[in-house]
Chain A
Amino acid sequence: MPDLLIELRSEEIPARMQRKAAGDLKKLVTDALVEAGLTYEGAREYWTPRRLTLDIRGLNARSADMREERKGPRIDANDKAIEGFLRAAGLSSISEAHVHNDPKKGDFYVAHIVRRGREAEEIVADVMPAIIRDFPWPKSMRSGAASAIPGSLRWVRPLQSIVCTFGAEHDETKVIPFEVDGIVASNITYGHRFHAPEAIAVRRFADYAEKLGKAKVVIDAERRKEIISADAHNIAFANGLELVEDEGLLEEVAGLVEWPKVLMGSFEESYLAIPSEIIRLTIKTNQKCFVTRKPGAETLSNRFILVSNIEAKDGGKEIVHGNGKVVRARLSDAAHFWKRDQGDLPDLETLAASAGKFGLDLKKPLDQRMAKLDALNVTFHAKLGTQGERVARIRSLAAALAKITGADPASVARAAVLAKADLRTEAVGEFPELQGIMGHKYAVLQGESAAVANAIEDHYKPQGPSDHVPTDPVSVSVALADKLDTLVGFWAIDERPTGSKDPYALRRAALGVIRLILEGRARLPLLPCFDVALASLKLQRPAMAADVSGDLLAFFHDRLKVYLRDLGARHDLIDAVLAPDADDLLMIARRVEALTAFITAEEGRNLLAGTKRATQILAAEEKKGTEVAASVDEELFRLDAERLLYASIKVASDGARAAIAKEDFRSAMEALSKLREPVDAFFNDVLVNDEDKAIRANRLALLGLIRSATGEVADFSKISG
């Protein structure tokens, strides 16, 4: 069966778009071919910076004929109806139609339509132009003289040529010469831009890949990554170093070259005085190079690894020399802002008011940056005010939280006012992802305590489900204040996450709060925190919305469920303990834990079954309107099982209630587990539906007591099984 080869060659495609684009091409083409009635055995996509390639194997040479019957009007229908039918069915006269009989409808016309299968070549030529025109690039552009005409082709960068060949194995292939904006598909491609700029005629994927390989193009991105990774490790090892791996950078670099050649460059060791994070980011972000270190060392070495796109005539000397110069210039810039951030800002006198607001010491660099942040009125969010206002809110919320976390209030206040100061440093201006990290470093340099310096970095944490959770009380206080202020603020201005949209990362913030509380085992009722946060906001913006707590708490419940479920908790057990106003996350989690242990043991399972039975009977009778006594009357007991159950419930309820008051959920469950036998005995020995109405009402009331006793720890009706 024939194979199809497609190559779309363009000017350099951004590295980050290549993989998805090649996948899109495969999906769009194969979907369209299948839609047109063709089948294929396999398809694989390839990409380089200059081409998207699709190799489809075992495609049918033509699509099958399709037969279809189309029902028409009765044979005695009027002319108009018959004409309409002929038009719709594509018949030229009614004699071409067949007459069918139906017992109800009588004789009517039917057109037997045969849709002839089409040549695969015709189908490909038919579907490709539209696929190319409507290609889902994240950003696309027009170009050239054609761009003066509306509706001209948009491609990620100018499209230069198209290869489209089709043919059976061993046979010669044919070109399918479809056309898009003046570019006609052919069998001609070109190799490496500099090493092999000549035209190459190709037949099918096998010789295409081979000829491109000779023309210094490695068509397979995975292969390029393997080459780069292996060569980078080798060159590092040969120099007594190890590569600092970076998968994202590897993927990007593989998308910047067609013919990877790995080289090593160096810079002066004196630059190693700059923090490693800055060196790594400078070299990675700006130069797309890898850094290295001595095996096992924390700090970097002064060698970096670069990936070039040519096999240079001089073995790469010039390239290494040039890249070294650029890296040195970049590091010199980095050293410059690292030093400047530790110096004084100009016009300090203009910062006095801001310094006063936050109790800042304008002799210290980081204090100056915070004052500047405030003085410049840098916006946090149009409706939530400036960064300065936000810091003021975080400070007051953190102070309130410090009473619960037991953190030193002075350290918390200091950490809160310096937490955002590094947003005004040049280092963070250059590399926003270093926020917090740089603040930490500058804080240490100006003599802040370890607790304060750590809190400046850690208050952004945890950033996700696997990020480190701070434990120092100062860090925890500021981290919670930062996130709670964010959440309450965005709730107050009605900017909540919807569906997949969460531009302010509020889900992540809520997860951060949850992890800080649960993993730090903190007793922190949320509702009072919401109140404090909202009060600070209203102090600055009196017109701010009234109350957010109920809705925000429900959001926390949702996030908590996701978090606990990820840890393996059963969602029905979470639901069973989650009251709508429960705002003490640690207690909720402990209840779930205790309930899980209880309900998976035999006694718990039986008690659950008994409770469910009691609840169901009760619900059924309540529905029928059967009388249920308001309270249990011991005088109406007739059997020992009733008396025993009643007494046990009293003991178990009291025990459970007392244990819960002490937040000892395990003991509460244990107290309840004592109910299992009496409940079982009750259902064995006692017929609830006694003929005597009063006895029946009393027994139903007793069932109600089972429900309320278990309700002390959880809503058993929500538990499945």
Chain B
Amino acid sequence: MTTSPLPDHMNPKRSFQALILTLHNYWADKGCAVLQPYDMEVGAGTFHPATTLRALGPKPWRAAYVQPSRRPTDGRYGENPNRLQHYYQYQVILKPNPSNLQELYLGSLEAIGLDPLLHDIRFVEDDWESPTLGAWGLGWECWCDGMEVSQFTYFQQVCGIECSPVSGELTYGLERLAMYVQGVDNVYDLNFNGRDGAEKISYGDVFLQAEQEYSRHNFEYANTAMLHQHFIDAEKECLALLAAGAPGDASNNRLHRCVFPAYDQCIKASHVFNLLDARGVISVTERQSYILRVRTLAKACGEAFLLTDAGGANWEREAA
């Protein structure tokens, strides 16, 4: 990054939003489409169709976005300085992965002010697997001074389908990274807008009450009978949409015509399952079967996606 002087509140070490903006700038400069968060509840940035579905098929793809991520079981009623049931991931997906992806990643850390000769940056083995998405890859946890600040994964399989070509996925835990660069020990003390005094908005101002309320919801109040029903409904709807949009015999009907809406239902089922899990009403054996049911939906969506334009169904023809 050049040293064009930024106002202090736009310094990534001063505000949460400046950290996000710095990453946006960096990855925009590297050719990524900077997307906005997906408008549904998901457990991680990987669930965004811009990653899950776009990692499939032959077409090149580069995107970066922030994704609010919900992990109902991580709720701590706002009492734990590090754990949140709702937090932000910064997600970068590059397909195929460029051969200098590690250097690009390290460049992004320098952009937010982490000097690799001052901070101990390390790549520690972490094989990533999402049983619900039928996905796995090899890569690392990226450590900065012993803190895991990102996950770095070379996708090998998504939705049970071999990635061809392989995508590189980078996921930054934004709160942790911000706490680190701001030198703050409690997530709620993060400076959100970079201002001081009366103008300052902290992470706690934005999210503390929500964390308390959602913790109650996740662990105590959520209506489990209703959630069970929602799971069943989402599962049914996903399969129905996939069936409705399936390619037919007619020549104008070669492609699948309803994958994204079906995949939304898969995401919904996954989140409902996470809520049921947080409520402690799922036994270990049931857990396996829920995971399997979501994976079945994800696989079906992935297979359908390959029959669409974005999935590369026309790619050979275009390339030719």
Contact = CB atoms under 8 A, between A and B. Distances in A.
Contact of A147 (B80, B123, B125, B163): B163
Contacts of A333: 80, 82-83
A346 B120 contact: no
Interface of A: 11-12, 14-16, 49, 139-148, 156-158, 160, 193-195, 256-257, 287-289, 306, 308-310, 312-314, 318-319, 321-323, 325-329, 332-333, 336, 346-347, 376-379
B284 A379 contact: yes
B98 interface: yes
B146 A326 contact: yes
Candidate in A141, A287, A310, A346 with the most chain B CB atoms within 10 angstroms? A141
A372 to B, nearest CB: 8
Contacts of A379: 283-285
Nearest to B165: A148
A105 B117 CA distance: 81
Interface in B123-157: 123-125, 127, 137-140, 144-147, 154, 156
Contacts of A308: 120
Candidate in A12, A140, A195 with the most chain B CB atoms within 10 angstroms? A12
A144 B118 contact: no
Contacts of A329: 81-82, 185
B82 A332 contact: yes
A318 B119 contact: yes
A420 B283 CA distance: 17
Given A309-B120, A327-B146, A379-B284, 16 more contacts: A142-B154, A142-B163, A144-B99, A144-B165, A148-B165, A157-B154, A287-B146, A309-B121, A313-B117, A319-B146, A322-B146, A323-B146, A326-B146, A333-B83, A347-B280, A377-B284
A377 B283 contact: yes
Contacts of B212: none
Contact of B166 (A144, A289, A377, A378): A144
A165 B106 CA distance: 31
A329 B154 CA distance: 29
A336 B80 CA distance: 9
Contacts of B118: 312-314, 318-319
Contacts of B117: 194-195, 310, 312-313
Interface residues of B, number: 46
Candidate in B76, B119, B137 with the most chain A CB atoms within 10 angstroms? B119
Contact of A194 (B99, B121, B163, B166): B121
13 contacts: A11-B102, A142-B166, A143-B99, A143-B168, A144-B98, A144-B166, A313-B117, A313-B118, A319-B146, A328-B185, A332-B81, A333-B82, A378-B283
Given A322-B146, A325-B185, A336-B80, A11 B284 contact: no
B154 A158 contact: yes
B200 to A, nearest CB: 22
Nearest to A314: B118
Interface of B: 58, 76, 80-83, 96-99, 102, 115-125, 127, 137-140, 144-147, 154, 156, 163-166, 168, 180, 185, 219-220, 280, 283-285
User: Closest 7 CB pairs between A and B?
Assistant: A322-B145, A14-B125, A148-B165, A323-B146, A12-B123, A308-B120, A147-B166
Contact of A377 (B81, B99, B138, B285): B285
Given A144-B166, A147-B163, A158 B99 contact: yes
A319 B114 CA distance: 12
A321 B120 CA distance: 11
A699 to B, nearest CB: 72
Given A141-B166, A289-B146, A322-B145, A147 B96 contact: yes
B147 A310 contact: no
Given A142-B156, A144-B98, A325-B185, A157 B138 contact: yes
Nearest to A289: B146
A221 to B, nearest CB: 16
Contact of A378 (B81, B99, B284): B284
A284 to B, nearest CB: 12
A158 B138 CA distance: 10
Contacts of B98: 144
Contact of A256 (B97, B124, B180, B284): B124
B177 to A, nearest CB: 12
Contacts of B164: 147-148
Contacts of B120: 308-310, 312, 319, 322
A147 B146 contact: no
Contacts of A157: 138-139, 154
Nearest to A316: B120
A142 B155 CA distance: 9
Contacts of B284: 376-379
A168 to B, nearest CB: 35
Contacts of A145: 96, 165
A332 B80 CA distance: 8
Given A194-B121, A309-B122, A148 B58 contact: yes
Contacts of A376: 280, 283-284
A15 B96 CA distance: 26
Contacts of B123: 11-12, 49
